């Protein structure tokens, strides 16, 4: 969207309304993308906010791609770092208290079908989850995914194929798909 690039230019010059417009248009998308990669709503919100901070520090050499793809790439890389950080925490910090009240994540994913899809994507191997998240939640083309992840194009296509297949199988088992 050409308007996003124009808003970014205005925001970098101090236009708060332009900055707010970018944030309003892209924040929720970035949270969803990071949520699928980190599994934590709080971490996803932090990643989305940090993505906008990082945007200000990037020296753009061109604006040929989409703004959404740029923001998705920034969020993707930050989410991978956050996931590594979360997984390196001690097992004491990883323990969850069993509680019947809905968590923030469950409130964010209120619809049962959405929860089933979320669980199916979370059950994928990391390499498949990353690729499918970039494709369907990041809006990246196969070629962009290959560049972002450093994986050959054929591998990207294969991982998307198997990720979709695995998700379908799980959703059928849960009765969400027939």
Contact by Cβ (8 Å): 29, 68:
yes
- CA-wise closest residue to 159 among 120, 177, 133: 133
Q: Are 171 and 117 in contact (CB under 8 A)?
A: yes
Of 23-32, 82-91, 168-177, which range is least confident? Answer: 82-91
Handedness of CA 94, 149, 170, 68 (dihedral sign): positive
Backbone torsions φ then ψ of 177, nearest 5 degrees: -115, 155
**Is the pLDDT assigned to residue 12 strictly greater than 90?**
no
Q: What is the pLDDT of residues 27-85, one digit of tens each?
A: 998 998 898 888 888 999 999 999 998 988 888 776 677 888 889 889 999 998 988 88
The residues spanned by each domain of the chain are 1-102, 111-178
pLDDT of 96: 47
pLDDT at 119 > cutoff 80 = yes
- In whole numbers, what is the pLDDT of the chain averaged over residues? 83
What gap in Å lies between CA 47 and CA 38, rounded to an integer? Answer: 9
In this prediction, residue 114 has a pLDDT band, given cuts at 50, 70 and 90, of confident
| Cα–Cα distance for residue pair 60/113, rounded to 1 Å | 39
pLDDT of 89 strictly over 70: no
pLDDT on residue 64: 72
Distance CA 63, CA 65 (A): 6
In this prediction, residue 104 has a pLDDT band, given cuts at 50, 70 and 90, of low
Q: Where are the alpha helices (DSSP H) in 16-141?
A: 16-38, 41-57, 67-87, 91-94, 104-108, 112-122, 126-136
Closest C-alpha among 14, 19, 30 to residue 139: 30
109-118, 137-146, 169-178 — which is least confidently predicted?
109-118
Class level of CATH domain 111-178 = mainly alpha
CB 73, CB 130: distance < 8 Å: no
pLDDT at 159 over 90: yes
34 near 44, Cβ under 8 Å? yes
105 pLDDT exceeds 60? no
Q: Which residues have a Cβ under 8 Å from the Cβ of 29 and sit 6 or more positions away?
A: 68, 71, 72, 137
Q: Which of 21, 66, 71 is nearest to 47 (CA)?
A: 71
Specify the fold of 1-102.
Rna Polymerase Sigma Factor; Chain: A (1.10.1740)
């Amino acid at each position: 969207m050409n308007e996003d690039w124009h808003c970014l230019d205005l925001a970098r010059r101090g236009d708060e309304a332009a900055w707010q417009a970018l944030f309003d248009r892209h924040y929720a998308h970035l949270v969803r993308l990071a949520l699928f990669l980190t599994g934590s709503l709080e971490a996803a919100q932090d990643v989305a906010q940090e993505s906008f901070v990082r945007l200000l520090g990037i020296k753009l050499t061109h604006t040929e791609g989409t703004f959404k793809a740029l923001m998705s790439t920034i969020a993707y890389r930050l989410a991978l770092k956050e996931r590594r950080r979360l997984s390196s925490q001690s097992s004491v910090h990883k323990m969850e208290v069993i509680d019947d009240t809905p968590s923030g994540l469950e409130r964010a994913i209120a619809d049962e079908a959405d929860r089933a899809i979320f669980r199916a994507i979370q059950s994928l191997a990391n390499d498949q989850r990353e690729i499918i998240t970039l494709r369907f939640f990041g809006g990246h083309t196969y070629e962009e995914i290959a560049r972002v992840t450093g994986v050959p194009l054929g591998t990207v296509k294969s991982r998307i194929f198997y990720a979709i297949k695995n998700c379908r199988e799980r959703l059928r088992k849960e009765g969400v798909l027939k």
